[in-house]
Amino acid sequence: RPHLHYRSGALHLEDARLADLAREYGTPLYVYSRAAMLDALAAYQRGFAGRRARICYAMKANSSLAVLQVFARAGCGFDIVSGGELQRVLAAGADPATVVFSGVGKTRGEMRQALQAGIACFNVESEAELEVLSAVAQALGMRAPVSIRVNPNVDAHTHPYISTGLKDNKFGVAHERVLATYRRAAQLPGLQVKGIDCHIGSQITEETPYLDAMDKVLDLVQAVEAQGIALEHIDFGGGLGIDYQGDTPPAADALWAKLLARVDQRGYGQRLLMVEPGRSLVGNAGVCLTEVLYLKPGEQKNFCIVDAAMNDLPRPMMYEAYHAIVPLDQASSAPHQTYDVVGPICESGDWLGRERSLAVRPGDWLAVLSAGAYCSAMGSTYNTRARAAEVLVDGAQVHLVRERESVSDIFRCERLLPAEKI
């Protein structure tokens, strides 16, 4: 993992000694590397060098304001999926003209909000949404820029919960309905057709599904334009996987060299090309630090109980996802044992890692790796556990970018019942 290394037995992210951060800010603590994010972005930038291209960071992966700032300053656009994400990304200083809005359930209020902000494009996911968006835009005296998200019906070979480009997924407009949907979009007075988009899933580690989806999208570009409807941009979505456990996804630049060869071959090389990567930009740029609270040996299993839990890092519980877990201090004299690493929450699904060999004692710190994407962002306050603090490191500089939430923050919006009459 880039920028994560042991120096004299102590785990560092860039030049920051993680044990120092755990001591100073407490645990659980998310730590992100700015350089690792920029390196991941650079692979895409190399892939699109010399092209008219926009990299729209899918901010759902990690929407912390400081992370958004890093990408906004590096020239990224953003893929948003809610009015909340729009507000966030604007608060981080992004240019709304670089924002695309995806999602199957945009409300009228969110549509108005995005139109008034002046976003680049709505990635429309159904015929019903198209009608509503046109009406909302017309009422504002505007024309909404739209792209139709096509469902190319390819299997991304990933976990079923994060596969999105299959016929029976709720996403996008079915391949055979795409032409009719574009014809309708071109007729509607509140719309302005801009482009086409697709997204086939997440944590994709093979190039074949990308190549197949690309062929289908390019076929559709041709068919749509044959109807006299011009498409200024082609958006290929996100989905590129990262290495969690010896996974070998293609590098972004190598993958795009192959995909762009197809685009060129079909004569679309001059279009504005867009992508929406999330995980591959941030996933391996973050770790979650946690303290070992108790060791609980058992007949069947040994448990290593830590202070981070499924509310902080839900991916193992939700997808049985694997995240490597390593000690901050390599030089422990504790004996190696096989543990299930579990959190304090009252559910058996509250685990972070299973059957891990660790040499630890209570009070030691561990780092859960590959925790930059879909970890903090999917966190909750279940069991009234306050959200973890977040730190961004930049060389030896350390910025606290999210204070640890307080318990009163958690119930701030709640109201007590009136006093009982006696």
| Size of site (CB under 6 A) for ligand LLP | 21
What distance in Å separates the CA atoms of residue 242 and residue 248, rounded to the nearest whole number?
7
Least distance to ligand LLP, CB of residue 41, Å: 12
Our CB check for ligand LLP shows the closer of 153 and 202 to be: 202
Residue-by-residue DSSP string for 152-188: ------S-GGGB-SSTTSSSSEEGGGHHHHHHHHHH-
Give the per-residue contact string, 100-139, with ligand LLP (x = CB under 6 A; - = no): --x-------------------------------------
Terminal alpha carbon distance of the chain: 64
Residue partners of 13: CB distance under 8 A and separation at least 6? 3, 4, 31, 32, 33, 36, 287, 393
Chosen residue from 144, 370, 374, 387 binding ligand LLP by CB under 6 A: 374
* Residue in 224, 270, 330 with CA at minimum distance from that of residue 52: 270
Q: Is 67 in the site for ligand LLP (CB under 6 A)?
A: no
Give the per-residue contact string, 21-60, with ligand LLP (x = CB under 6 A; - = no): -------------------------------------x--
Which residue bears the tokens 């909340």? 84
What distance in Å separates the CA atoms of residue 356 and residue 112, rounded to the nearest whole number?
49
Q: Max CA-CA distance within the chain?
A: 82
Q: Is 202 in the site for ligand LLP (CB under 6 A)?
A: yes
What distance in Å separates the CA atoms of residue 97 and residue 229, rounded to the nearest whole number?
22
CA distance to 175, 221, 264, 274, 372, per residue, from 267 (Å): 22, 11, 5, 16, 37
Q: Is 278 annotated as a binding residue?
A: yes
Q: What share of the chain is helix, strand, coil (3-state, %, to 5)?
A: 35, 25, 40
Chosen residue from 13, 59, 79, 286 binding ligand LLP by CB under 6 A: 79
Q: Is 46 annotated as a binding residue?
A: no
Catalytic residue among 198, 304, 346, 413: 346
Residue partners of 265: CB distance under 8 A and separation at least 6? none
Q: Is 210 annotated as a binding residue?
A: no
Q: Is 199 in the site for ligand LLP (CB under 6 A)?
A: yes
10 Å CB burial of residue 421 (0-12, 13-18, 19+) is exposed
Specify the DSSP element, H or E, that contains 80.
strand 77-80
Q: Is 77 in the site for ligand LLP (CB under 6 A)?
A: no
Our CB check for ligand LLP shows the closer of 11 and 41 to be: 41
Task: Copy the structure tokens of residue 399.
Answer: 């910025």
- Name the segment binding ligand LLP (CB under 6 A); options: 182-190, 198-206, 224-232, 347-355: 198-206
- Name the segment binding ligand LLP (CB under 6 A); options: 9-17, 70-78, 270-278, 349-357: 270-278
Q: Is 11 in the site for ligand LLP (CB under 6 A)?
A: no
Q: Is 61 in the site for ligand LLP (CB under 6 A)?
A: yes
What distance in Å separates the CA atoms of residue 323 and residue 340, rounded to the nearest whole number?
12
413 in active site: no
- Name the segment binding ligand LLP (CB under 6 A); options: 106-114, 231-239, 295-303, 409-417: 231-239
Pairing assessment for the beta strands 4-7 and 337-342 based on DSSP bridges: unpaired
- Name the segment binding ligand LLP (CB under 6 A); options: 62-70, 84-92, 197-205, 332-340: 197-205
Enumerate residues 307-346 that contact ligand LLP by CB under 6 A: 315, 319
Q: Is 276 in the site for ligand LLP (CB under 6 A)?
A: yes
Q: Is 63 in the site for ligand LLP (CB under 6 A)?
A: no
Q: Is 54 annotated as a binding residue?
A: no
Chosen residue from 47, 190, 238, 379 binding ligand LLP by CB under 6 A: 238
Enumerate residues 143-162 that contact ligand LLP by CB under 6 A: 162
Pairing assessment for the beta strands 286-296 and 365-368 based on DSSP bridges: antiparallel
Q: Which residues bind ligand LLP (CB under 6 A)?
A: 58, 61, 79, 102, 162, 164, 199, 202-203, 237-240, 276-280, 315, 319, 374
- Annotated active-site positions, please? 346
- Where is the binding site for pyridoxal 5'-phosphate, in residues? 239, 276-279, 374
